[in-house]
Amino acid sequence: MRQNREGRDERAHVLASTFVALAGTVAYELLKETFLPAISRWGSHVLTITYVTFAAAAIATVVHRHANRMRREVQSLQGWGARSEAALQAFVDAIPEPAFLVNRQLAILTLNDALASRLGRARADLVGRDAFALLPDSNLARARAARVTEVFDQGNAIVFHDSNNDRHYVNHLGPVRGPDDGVWAVGVVAIDVTDLHRAQEQLEQKEELLRFGLEAAGLGVWEWDIGTDVVSVSSQAIRLLGGPEREWRGSFASFLQHVEADDRGFVEEWLRTSAAGRAMSGPLTFRGRTNLRRPLRWVEVQGRLFKGRGGRLRMVGTVADATARRESEARRLRTEDALQSVTQRTAGHTGQDFFSSLVAALARSLGARWVLAGRATDDDRAVTSLACWANGPAPECSMPLEGPLDEATGQRWLSSFAAATGAADGDPQEETPSAVIIPIVSPDGTTVGIVGALHDKPLGDIDTVRLVLALTAMRAGAEIQRLDKENEIMRLNADLERRVLERTTELTSANRELEAFSYSVSHDLRAPLRSIDGFALALVEDHGDKLEPEARQYIQIVRQESQRMGQLIDDLIGLARLTRSTLNRAPVNLSATATAIIDELRLRHPERSVAVTIAPDMIVHGDANLLRIALDNLLGNAWKFTSRTADARIEVGMSETTPHAKVFVSDNGAGFDSKLAGKLFQPFARLHHANEYEGTGIGLATVARIIKRHGGCVTAESSPGNGATFTWTLPAAGASPSPSARTTERDHSGPTIQT
């Protein structure tokens, strides 16, 4: 205020001095006009000098006062400038982004550390420099300089964007005004928004990807501001809901108008319930608005509830086209119903009954008037029906094949069948759109038959009909394959029965020949042997006293060998009879059998002292007579081959393992080489010389034959001088004979040997 008052005083003094000077000038001019003619020349000069003096004094007064005022203004401006410069520098330094001030010549007046750091220069080196000459891009420098000049000229702040290479900036330019309200500088702040720009680009890319994904997935987006009841939807959502965008009003009521009238009630209830914060029950499916030009469309809506700032609720979700899924679901239900009906009607049927039930079930399930199931003949020259239906069971039909059995051939055959059994209006060929033919394919991919349905009116959902027929064609193919295999099995069985009969006849003939041979051996061969033995005995009895001792020894050898030959014949006949006798299976106590055999051996050889151990209660399942023969041979061998052992021992035992029992007979006799064990069970095979141990070599072969007939096997373990152990398996008591045992009851092959 003091400065304002001093300014007003100075202006008053100047005006007064000016007024005095003007008044002096006016007075001088009046005197000059009025009195100058009467005044002398010297008086005129005096008057002029007086005027000049008076005017000079007035001017000097004005100049002095104006100089004082100017001095005070300069001092005031210097103080204001110092204070303003400090405040402005502090303000510029506080800006985090690069900032500076330029004058009209674009020279830098001041700058902050951020700009100096960005340029890599000291602040003192940059003051006074051309601000935009430092930019490497000349075009960018000229553009920014032009904007600064625009601020100087117009005095308004401006904001603009530009870029330098891959960096992006937002430039803020503002005028700096002096005391006289004139623009004496322009402040420039360049904000680097590269990261923000990149984030914006990424956001736009993600939004574009999201938009593309939603469009590719056929999804629309909707948002409901529950507070304002405003609903925003995408264009795709409007198309799915069924209505042009121009009819959209952006309200919840407008949203409901795009829902089929019958569904609006539960749709509104679902959305209102969800908006109230209660749990949603999953996606909502309803019908969109339909009209004469727009068919029925099912829509699925999903949404989530969000709470924004201030507790404001909104719901965001998607809209999807569920028409195909609903139609597929409906088709699936129709197919399941049809298949269930067909399955129930054909359950328990096979062969011809199956196909008859199949065509009847298909006719009822599909609403078809004609149904045909057929297959190609074995020579592929014709197709013949497996079952026919024409509003009821129809007689069989067939058609020659001029080419492969395919869908077109099936169409012709079905049409001919319909025509032959009373087609409806017109030519059946014209009804092919209502006919569906499905080939029956074998596992190797060959078409072996067809299943077809035809109606004189549209069959309805053709896709469902095709699916039902395709599935039943698979079942029909399996039945055809089963029938073929059944026929093949019957053929093989018939062939097998024929071969068995032939084999039985051969075996019967062989048995008869064997019996004849046995009879011949038993009678024809025994007679000479008896004669030899008898005459040898008569020779010894009648002429023994005349014979030399050596001759009597020879005759004794002849008798022994003839008797041995007779024993061999008896053993062979016994071995042959083993294969022809019938097994009488029953529980057998081997402990009692073994005890009886040992007792007999002790009676025949009272001089022997043998330690015998027999396990108690050895019960097996088999033929008692045959098992006694086997055990008699094994114990007889053990008794025989321990005859030269001082401390003879024999053991009989059993280890039961369900369903078989292992019976063993062991001794500490002569033993044998285990490598030769396989020969033991062959007829007449001997590992010891007859002079060492008597025998015919038939006993172990008999054992092996008996055990094999019982479904078991025999093993032998031994070493020379360390005795032998014979082990054989038999069904345990209470166990049923195995299939292999049953098959060996009439087996005429050799024994199974394990070593």
Please, which pLDDT band fits residue 593 given cuts at 50, 70 and 90?
Answer: very high
CA–CA separation, 579 and 722 (whole Å): 34
Whether pLDDT at 592 is above 90: yes
Q: Of the ranges 75-89, 210-224, 279-293, 512-526, which is most confident?
A: 210-224
Averaged pLDDT for residues 77-90:
62
CA–CA separation, 572 and 580 (whole Å): 13
Q: Structural domain boundaries of the chain?
A: 2-79, 95-198, 217-321, 327-580, 582-754
Minimal CA–CA distance to 227: which of 303, 322, 310, 339? 310
pLDDT tens digits, 491-502:
999 999 999 999
Q: How many CB atoms lie within 10 A of CB 219?
A: 20
Q: Extract the tokens encoding 468.
A: 């039902």
End-to-end CA distance of the chain: 137
Please give the DSSP secondary-structure letter assigned to residue 683: T
Averaged pLDDT for residues 53-67:
54
Whether pLDDT at 254 is above 50: yes
The predicted structure's pLDDT at residue 499: 92
pLDDT tens digits, 684-704:
666 655 556 666 667 788 888
In this structure, which topology does domain 582-754 adopt according to CATH? Answer: Heat Shock Protein 90 (3.30.565)
User: Cβ distance 507 to 748 under 8 Å?
Assistant: yes
Q: For the domain with range 95-198, which CATH number is right: 3.40.50.970, 3.40.50.2300, 3.30.450.20, 3.40.50.300?
A: 3.30.450.20
Q: How far is CA 580 from the centre of its chain?
A: 63
CATH class held by domain 327-580: alpha beta
Q: Extract the tokens encoding 397.
A: 């039909």
In this structure, which topology does domain 217-321 adopt according to CATH? Answer: Beta-Lactamase (3.30.450)
User: Cβ distance 753 to 714 under 8 Å?
Assistant: yes
User: Cβ distance 173 to 151 under 8 Å?
Assistant: yes
Averaged pLDDT for residues 503-507:
86
Q: Residue 384: left (phi > 0), alpha (psi -120 to 50), or beta?
A: beta
95-198 and 217-321 have identical folds: yes
CA–CA separation, 244 and 754 (whole Å): 92
CA–CA separation, 197 and 180 (whole Å): 41
Who wins on pLDDT, 82 or 724?
724
Who wins on pLDDT, 24 or 535?
535
Q: What is the pTM of this model?
A: 0.42
